[in-house]
């Protein structure tokens, strides 16, 4: 199934690339079309003027074959931009280009044999030389074909023109040849610059599309991480709290069924206290999810105040200067603080809590310690469902920080340490 999907994706990419290549070729044709329009108009007009001004060329025996050859010559010029197989840059393109030039030279020799004139020679040969330079793109690569065209031209001229016309024809040809070469090279550079600019725009569009795709993927991952975090919040507050309340109510029901009203009443009071604690934790979780403040000191003080009101446990607070902390770090540290206080509320049975938030050269360190019963780290890490500690480890890893929990059972208390660097941007921020 995966192989089939991969083939489908590869075919789709190939079709897309072919479509892009076709569009690029159409753009290239539009770029060079003005040059060939000019060539066709100049050569066609020149031929018409020479035939009109020379009665000897108006005889049907000369006019019909010469005109047919001229039409074929101009048609080949006109269709050249669309014929990819002729271009030297494609496979077998050099061979095909040389075949094209040989065909055009044969047509020119045929035309000049019917209409021998200096104007016809200059126009036809210079146009073909300019076209050759354009196809090969540089003078160095076009040098050999151009020399071949000039050799054929001189042989053709010595055969058709009068002997005294050859020196004048050669002297006039040199400056006109230089002008043609310079014009074609400049025109080619202009076309190439526009094509490179267009290709750059296309490449930028592809990059923008990839960046948009990556942004969507990051947004999806961020949403998934947020959902996982919310799942951990709900599990550690409402789910566990309600399970405890249900178990206690079931015990109350059993005690009432046995007529033990005093025991049942004591359990009801305990259950009520448990329900109040669960409600406080749920409110704390909702408050954390809605947290929008970027003032870390204010957020920490608010969390401590709610903790003390809900539990009655005294919390000693030590905080350094926390100004200029990024919203991402505020969020990470508040999640660590909330998780630590929530664990103390549920499990520690502590009487005193100490929170330290220290700012060093390398980053911020949150330490949250209590004098509670403690627990065995090996037992906790071997069990599933401890989403809070897992979530804090994930946060520390993603932010390039460090998370540690130090605890021992038997009344030794617990210390949570959450450290984050100040000079690292959060990848999910």
Q: Which two tokens stand for residue 29?
A: 């044709």
Q: Does pTM top 0.85 for this prediction? A: no
Which residue would you say has higher pLDDT here, 301 or 391?
301
CA gap 142, 272 in Å, rounded: 96
Who contacts 393 (Cβ-Cβ below 8 Å, separation ≥6)?
403
350 lies in some domain: yes
- Give yes or no for a contact between 334 and 291, defined as CB atoms under 8 angstroms apart: yes
CA 73 to the chain's CA centroid: 48
Beta-sheet strand order (sheet of 402-407): 314-319, 352-359, 363-370, 414-421, 402-407
CB atoms under 10 Å from CB of 245, counted, come to 17
Are residue 153 and residue 6 in the same domain, yes or no?
A: yes
Place of tokens 């793109």: 137
Give the pLDDT of residue 429.
40
pLDDT above 90 (res 353): yes
- Give yes or no for a contact between 364 and 325, defined as CB atoms under 8 angstroms apart: yes
120 lies in some domain: yes
CA gap 103, 109 in Å, rounded: 10
Are residue 299 and residue 151 in the same domain, yes or no?
A: no
185 lies in some domain: no
124 lies in some domain: yes
pLDDT above 60 (res 167): yes
CA gap 109, 21 in Å, rounded: 37
The confidence band for 94, taking pLDDT boundaries of 50, 70 and 90, is confident
**Which candidate, 128, 138, 148, places its Cα nearest to that of 36?**
128
**For the ranges 26-35, 67-76, 413-422, which has the lowest average pLDDT?**
26-35
CA 120 to the chain's CA centroid: 56
- Give yes or no for a contact between 145 and 132, defined as CB atoms under 8 angstroms apart: yes
CA gap 184, 342 in Å, rounded: 79
Q: Tell me how far CA of residue 6 lies from CA of 131, 161, 192, 294, in angstroms.
A: 44, 67, 36, 46
Give the pLDDT of residue 343.
83
CA 386 to the chain's CA centroid: 37
Query: Strand 352-359 vs strand 363-370: parallel, antiparallel, or unpaired?
Result: antiparallel
143, 161, 179: which is the final residue of a domain? Answer: 161
Domain span at residue 150? 2-161
Q: Tell me how far CA of residue 331 lies from CA of 39, 59, 283, 304, 361, in angstroms.
A: 71, 95, 17, 16, 20
Which residue would you say has higher pLDDT here, 10 or 69?
69
Task: Quick: pLDDT tens for 27-41.
Answer: 666 666 777 787 788
161, 183, 210: which is the final residue of a domain? Answer: 161
Number of structural domains in the chain: 2
200 lies in some domain: no
256 lies in some domain: no
- Give yes or no for a contact between 371 and 351, defined as CB atoms under 8 angstroms apart: yes
> Average pLDDT of 259-277?
77
Triad 161, 52, 123: Cα angle to 5°: 50
Who contacts 295 (Cβ-Cβ below 8 Å, separation ≥6)?
330
pLDDT above 90 (res 356): yes
67 lies in some domain: yes
> Average pLDDT of 227-247?
67
140, 161, 182: which is the final residue of a domain? Answer: 161
419 lies in some domain: yes
CATH number of the domain residue 359 falls in: 3.30.565.10
Percent residues over pLDDT 70 in the chain? 68
Are residue 9 and residue 153 in the same domain, yes or no?
A: yes
């Amino acid at each position: 199934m995966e192989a089939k999907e991969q083939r489908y994706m590869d075919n789709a990419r190939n079709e897309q690339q072919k479509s892009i290549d076709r569009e690029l070729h159409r753009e290239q044709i539009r770029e060079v079309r003005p040059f060939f329009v000019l060539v066709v108009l100049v050569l066609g007009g020149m031929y018409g003027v020479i035939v009109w001004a020379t009665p000897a060329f108006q005889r049907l025996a000369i006019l019909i074959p010469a005109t047919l050859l001229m039409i074929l010559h101009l048609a080949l010029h006109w269709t050249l931009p669309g014929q990819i197989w002729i271009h030297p840059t494609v496979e077998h393109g050099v061979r095909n280009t040389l075949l094209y030039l040989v065909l055009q030279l044969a047509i020119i020799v045929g035309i000049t044999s019917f209409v021998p004139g200096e104007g016809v020679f200059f126009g036809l040969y210079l146009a073909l030389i300019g076209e050759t330079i354009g196809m090969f793109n540089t003078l160095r690569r076009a040098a050999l074909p151009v020399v071949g065209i000039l050799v054929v031209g001189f042989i053709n001229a010595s055969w058709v023109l009068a002997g005294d016309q050859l020196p004048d024809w050669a002297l006039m040809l040199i400056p006109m040849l230089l002008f043609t070469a310079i014009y074609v090279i400049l025109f080619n550079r202009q076309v190439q610059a526009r094509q490179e600019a267009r290709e750059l725009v296309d490449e930028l569009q592809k990059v923008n599309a990839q960046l948009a795709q990556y942004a969507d993927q990051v947004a999806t991952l961020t949403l998934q991480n947020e959902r996982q975090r919310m799942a951990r919040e709900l599990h550690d507050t409402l789910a566990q709290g309600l399970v405890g309340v249900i178990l206690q109510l079931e015990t109350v029901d059993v005690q009432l069924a046995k007529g033990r009203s005093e025991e049942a009443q004591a359990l009801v009071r305990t259950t009520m206290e448990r329900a109040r604690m669960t409600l406080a934790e749920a409110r704390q979780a909702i408050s954390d999810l809605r947290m929008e403040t970027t003032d870390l000191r204010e957020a920490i003080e608010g969390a401590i105040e709610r903790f003390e009101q809900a539990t009655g446990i005294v919390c000693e607070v030590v905080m350094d200067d926390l100004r200029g902390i990024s919203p991402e770090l505020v969020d990470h540290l508040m999640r660590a603080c909330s998780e630590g206080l929530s664990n103390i509320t549920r499990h520690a049975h502590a009487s005193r809590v100490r929170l330290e938030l220290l700012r060093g050269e390398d980053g911020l360190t949150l330490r949250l310690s209590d004098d509670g019963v403690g627990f065995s780290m090996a037992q906790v890490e071997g069990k599933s469902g401890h989403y809070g500690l897992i979530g804090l480890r994930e946060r520390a890893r993603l932010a390039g920080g460090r998370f540690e929990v130090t605890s021992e059972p038997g009344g030794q208390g617990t210390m949570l340490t959450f450290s984050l660097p100040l000079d690292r941007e959060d990848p999910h921020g």
